[in-house]
């Protein structure tokens, strides 16, 4: 956690992916078709307190959110839903802070918060690989 804060002093974004060194930032997979995963992810994000869905484009699988922190900073978050097979989808998240200063790990915590919420809602469909 302390390491994340140090990284956050310099960096104002965080992202997930298959090649992430931090296991917490690896892509999350669900045994759902892309369309079904899209519906589930979008409806879950719309209900998350403190997050505002700005727009969503199902054809490219992107949902853009905004979150304001207690310090008044605005975070821009993009959640991508990617079909990796007929019945498997991946979800990746990119979160960035507006402004030039580091985020003190806030983007990292936002990603973990979104993944935790999605994993809870989609627990029956969670899988470890593509």
What CATH number is given to the structural domain containing 121? 3.30.310.220
**Helix or strand (DSSP H, E) at 64:** strand 62-68
Domain with 108 in it: 2-127
Helix, strand or coil for residue 88?
Answer: strand
- pLDDT one-digit tens code per residue, 83-100: 999 999 999 999 999 876
Count structural domains, the chain: 1
- pLDDT one-digit tens code per residue, 9-68: 566 888 999 999 899 999 999 999 999 999 999 999 999 999 999 999 999 999 999 999
Sequence-ordered list of residues with C-beta below 8 angstroms from that of 13, at least 6 positions apart, any chain: 94, 95, 96, 97, 103, 107
């Amino acid at each position: 956690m302390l390491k994340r804060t140090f990284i956050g002093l310099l960096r104002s974004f965080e992202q997930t992916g298959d090649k992430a060194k931090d296991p917490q930032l690896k892509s999350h997979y669900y045994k759902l078709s892309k369309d079904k995963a899209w519906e589930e992810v979008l409806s879950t994000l719309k209900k998350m307190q403190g997050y505002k869905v700005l727009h969503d484009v199902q054809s490219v699988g992107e949902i853009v959110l905004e979150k304001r922190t207690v310090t008044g900073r605005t975070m821009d978050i993009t959640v991508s839903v990617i079909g990796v097979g007929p019945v498997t989808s991946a979800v990746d998240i990119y979160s960035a802070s507006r402004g030039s200063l580091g985020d003190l790990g806030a983007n990292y915590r936002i990603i973990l918060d979104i993944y935790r919420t999605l994993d809870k809602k989609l627990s029956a469909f969670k899988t470890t690989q593509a």
